[in-house]
Structure 1
């Protein structure tokens, strides 16, 4: 059985290795699960975020690496059980001279510019917090957004707090650093869940993946595997009660 899975160039979740093979936390999780359900061949397709949903919905590949679950996306694709919970954060220059630590802090600074990847949930989160469209710069690839922060074209790049933390460690704290979002006073921060996605016509594959995920998520082997990519109980434990 051959399974085709699409991924993004977005460490620590997925990226292309020096010799071509895909690697990363989401790639490794998919490999364990797909091998367990009988996949004898796994093909990886590097794509852009804007192509993920349409690509799997139209059968260009069989499944996508995990992305945030939203009602709008669920109209187009079918999601697996959640596999991680992930809060947002910023990647900023080391001095963070505008003291950006939340979407609200960007909205308060009319001269602040925020980089976001096209189609990702951070765009709507920023708008909901009052960030205006003229403060938002949309990029197709993560590498473009990182370079925009480095060069000063934007003041921050919005993505997952975990992903930005790993990026900052790799790039070096003297250049860029990660900032976890400051909680809004008096509110309960709901951390969104991410899941694999499939065509709505792929029930057999999705159900098989779900069965294996339910037995694997939260196990010692799973925690050890994800820890290599910076995942902790904060990203894993919230999904265990909803699978």
Structure 2
């Protein structure tokens, strides 16, 4: 049994390692789960964020690495049970010269430029907080956004707080600001996604995820990549 899974260049969740193979927290989670349901061959397909949903819908691959679950996306693909819950954060140049600590802080400064990967939930969050279209610079992927940040073309890059922490720890020129949690204390959840025409794979993955999420092995594997109890506990009982 062979499964093709698409991924992006977004450490610590998924990226291409020095040996040119896919690696990361969610790549490892997929490996454990797929092997447990009898998959003998796993093929990784690097793609862009904008191609993730069309690619799995059209059958170019069988599943996607976890992304945030939204009602709009759920109309196009079938999501697994959630595998993490992540709050947003900004990646900034060291010193945070414009004091950007939230989407609202960006909206309050007309000279602030916010980098976002096109099509991500961070775009909706920014606009909901009043960030104008003229302040938003959209990128195809994380690498381009970080290059623009380092070059001074944008003032902040909006992503997940945990992802930003990992990136900042690898570059002394950068720092991270985690956003405050919502009033209800809940962070948006992420999940694997599948074609709606492939319910058998979705069901098998879900059954295994329910057994595995929250286990000692799961927590240890995720901790290697910087994911803590905060990101895992709210979904491990799903």
Q: Deviations over 1:138-166 (max 9, x none)?
A: 00011110011111100000000000000
Written as runs of structure 1 = structure 2, the 5 A alignment for 1:231-242 is 231-241=227-237
Once residues 119 and 86 of structure 2 are traced to their aligned partners in structure 1, the CA distance between those partners, rounded to angstroms, is: 17
Give the TM-score normalised by structure 1.
0.96
Once residues 183 and 38 of structure 1 are traced to their aligned partners in structure 2, the CA distance between those partners, rounded to angstroms, is: 39
SS in 2 for 1:234: helix
Once residues 6 and 193 of structure 2 are traced to their aligned partners in structure 1, the CA distance between those partners, rounded to angstroms, is: 10
Root-mean-square deviation (Å):
0.9
Written as runs of structure 1 = structure 2, the 5 A alignment for 1:67-78 is 67-78=67-78
- 1:179 aligned residue: 177
Q: Please report how far the alpha carbon of residue 17 of structure 1 lies from its aligned counterpart in structure 2 after TM superposition.
A: 1.2
SS in 1 for 2:170: helix
Contact 1:77–1:197 (CA under 8 A) maintained in structure 2:
yes
Q: Please report how far the alpha carbon of residue 189 of structure 1 lies from its aligned counterpart in structure 2 after TM superposition.
A: 4.3
Q: Please report how far the alpha carbon of residue 19 of structure 1 lies from its aligned counterpart in structure 2 after TM superposition.
A: 2.0
SS in 2 for 1:159: strand
- 2:101 aligned residue: 101
Q: Deviations over 1:82-115 (max 9, x none)?
A: 0000000000000111100100000001110000
Once residues 180 and 231 of structure 2 are traced to their aligned partners in structure 1, the CA distance between those partners, rounded to angstroms, is: 17
- 1:144 aligned residue: 144
- 2:202 aligned residue: 206
- 2:221 aligned residue: 225
| Structure 1 gap ranges (5+) | none
Q: Please report how far the alpha carbon of residue 183 of structure 1 lies from its aligned counterpart in structure 2 after TM superposition.
A: 5.0
Q: Deviations over 1:156-214 (max 9, x none)?
A: 00000000000000122xx0111101457xx3343100000000011000000000000
- 2:162 aligned residue: 162
Give the TM-score normalised by structure 2.
0.98
Contact 1:101–1:182 (CA under 8 A) maintained in structure 2:
no
- 1:6 aligned residue: 6
Aligned length, in residue pairs: 238
Once residues 45 and 126 of structure 2 are traced to their aligned partners in structure 1, the CA distance between those partners, rounded to angstroms, is: 29
